[in-house]
Amino acid sequence: MMSRKQSIAGLVLCMAVAAFAEAPGWTNLAGNVVYAVPVEVKAKQILFQRPDSTNTFTVALSVFPESEQQRLQHTLGHLVIPKELKGAYEFAQRSILRSRILYDQGHITLEEFNKTVRKNQTALRRRASSLIEREQASNSQVEHLLETLSKAGLSSAPNK
């Protein structure tokens, strides 16, 4: 029969194995995989937490390939805009902001405001499609950009 200490030790071991299994893997330039949970990025360093403890460690972001750097930043909620989309994204933001101002002043309807948001999202999606085909951007990265435009529209939406 198992003692109470053995039962607790077994439970802790199972939890540690489960946490380790759920930790994402991040492949560095050398091909080694880091199994840890990213906590934050600051000063071009990324802070990871080991899945089986509260211990943390820091790694230079530059040891990861560009695609992993983007995935890490996306995972942490950072907005990563491919340079080829930066102008189109900024244009869409300005367009949505102008529409919000026009709506707030009563010059356009809510329907027109929402149409502007959708139109800008569609234009950005079209612009991004060739980047996705050439694997210079990922679907999830583009969807994240579109989501931020949508949120910009919602957060700036009608004060009436």
- Could you report the per-residue pLDDT of 108-124, keeping only the tens digit for each? 999 999 999 999 999 99
Asked if 70 and 141 count as a contact pair (C-beta separation under 8 A), the reply is yes
Please tell me whether residues 92 and 151 are part of one structural domain.
yes
Copy the structure tokens of residue 72: 């890490």
Provide the number of structural domains found in the chain.
2
Q: Confirm whether 104 is domain-assigned.
A: yes
Q: Confirm whether 144 is domain-assigned.
A: yes
Q: Confirm whether 27 is domain-assigned.
A: yes
Q: Confirm whether 70 is domain-assigned.
A: no
Q: Confirm whether 78 is domain-assigned.
A: no
Please tell me whether residues 59 and 99 are part of one structural domain.
no
Range of the domain at 123: 83-155
| Side-chain-side CA neighbours of residue 145 (13 Å) | 30
Please tell me whether residues 50 and 104 are part of one structural domain.
no
pLDDT value of residue 145: 82
pLDDT value of residue 14: 42
Please tell me whether residues 44 and 95 are part of one structural domain.
no
Q: Please state the pTM of the whole predicted model.
A: 0.54
- Low-confidence residues in the chain, pLDDT < 50: 9-21
Neighbours of 76 (CB within 10 A): 13
